[in-house]
C-alpha cells in the first residue's frame, strides 16, 4: 500500500515537474565527492515519472567515469552493460512490466556491479535511518547482496524527490541502509561510505 501511495504522488507530476526536478537533482548529485572521484558508477535509466537520470549519466561520462546500466534478467536479477550515450540504449518491454531503457551493447554479467565505486539506486522512499523502499521486485536487493558477498564497498546513493525522504519505511531482514539520498534540494547522509 505504501508503494502505491508514493507512485500515486509521482503519477501526478507533469513532464515539466520531472524535467525541473531532474536538472536540480543532476546538479546536486554531481557535487557529491563520491561521484566526483568515481571511476565506475553503476546507475539506471529513469522511466516515467521517476527522478530523471539521463542528464546525470551524460555528465558522469563527460567527467570520464565509466557508467554501467542494468538489464533485467528473466529471474529479476540484473545484468550490466556500458552506457556510451543515449544512442546506446534500447527500449525493452519485459512480460507484464513497464518498458525499460537498457544498454544495447555487450552484457558484462551480474558481477560487473562489484567493480563500481558508487551505485545509484532507484527507490520510492528513504527513511531517517537510510533504509530504502524499492518497488518490490527484489532486483536491487540482489545487487546489494552481491556487493556484500564480494566484499565490495561502493557508495550507495538513492535519487528521490524531496517528499520521498520520510521518517520510517518498513524493512526486512535482508534490507541494507544506503549511504546517502540526493533530492533536488538536498543531500542527506546516513553513515560512512
Q: What is the pLDDT of residues 112-169, one digit of tens each?
A: 999 999 999 999 999 999 999 988 778 998 999 999 999 999 999 999 999 999 999 8
- Residue 86, pLDDT score: 86
Q: Is the pLDDT of residue 193 over 50?
A: no
Q: How many CB atoms lie within 10 A of CB 184?
A: 19
DSSP state of 56: H
The answer to whether the annotation marks 136 as part of a ligand binding site is: yes
The C-alpha cell that represents 93 in the structure block: 518491454
Q: Domain-by-domain residue ranges, the chain?
A: 2-189
The answer to whether the annotation marks 132 as part of a ligand binding site is: yes
Q: Is the pLDDT of residue 87 over 50?
A: yes
- Residue 136, pLDDT score: 72
Among 9, 19, 56, 52, CA closest to 164: 9
C-alpha 164/C-alpha 147 separation (Å) is 25
The answer to whether the annotation marks 35 as part of a ligand binding site is: no
The answer to whether the annotation marks 149 as part of a ligand binding site is: no
Q: At what angle do helices 15-30 and 54-62 cross, to 10 degrees?
A: 30
What percent of the chain is predicted at pLDDT more than 90? 66
pLDDT digits (tens, 9 = 90+) for 100-125: 889 998 999 999 999 999 999 999 99
The answer to whether the annotation marks 56 as part of a ligand binding site is: no
* CATH class of the region 2-189: alpha beta
Q: Taking the complete model, does pTM exceed 0.95, yes or no?
A: no
The answer to whether the annotation marks 134 as part of a ligand binding site is: yes
pLDDT digits (tens, 9 = 90+) for 17-75: 999 999 999 999 999 999 998 999 999 999 888 998 999 999 999 999 999 999 999 88
Amino acid at each position: 500500500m505504501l508503494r502505491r501511495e508514493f507512485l500515486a504522488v509521482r503519477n501526478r507530476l507533469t513532464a515539466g515537474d520531472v524535467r525541473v526536478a531532474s536538472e536540480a537533482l543532476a546538479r546536486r548529485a554531481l557535487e557529491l565527492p563520491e561521484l566526483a572521484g568515481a571511476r565506475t558508477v553503476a546507475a539506471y535509466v529513469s522511466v516515467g515519472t521517476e527522478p530523471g537520470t539521463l542528464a546525470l549519466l551524460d555528465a558522469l561520462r563527460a567527467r570520464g567515469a565509466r557508467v554501467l546500466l542494468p538489464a533485467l534478467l528473466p529471474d529479476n536479477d540484473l545484468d550490466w552493460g556500458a552506457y556510451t550515450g543515449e544512442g546506446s540504449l534500447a527500449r525493452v518491454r519485459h512480460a507484464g512490466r513497464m518498458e525499460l531503457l537498457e544498454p544495447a551493447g555487450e552484457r558484462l554479467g551480474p558481477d560487473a556491479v562489484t567493480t563500481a565505486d558508487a551505485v545509484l539506486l532507484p527507490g520510492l522512499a528513504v527513511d531517517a535511518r537510510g533504509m530504502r523502499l524499492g518497488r518490490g521486485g527484489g532486483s536491487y536487493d540482489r545487487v546489494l547482496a552481491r556487493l556484500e558477498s564480494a566484499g565490495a564497498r561502493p557508495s550507495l546513493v538513492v535519487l528521490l524527490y524531496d517528499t520521498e525522504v520520510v521518517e520510517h519505511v518498513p524493512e526486512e531482514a535482508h534490507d541494507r541502509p544506503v549511504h546517502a539520498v540526493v533530492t533536488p534540494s538536498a543531500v542527506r547522509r546516513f553513515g560512512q561510505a
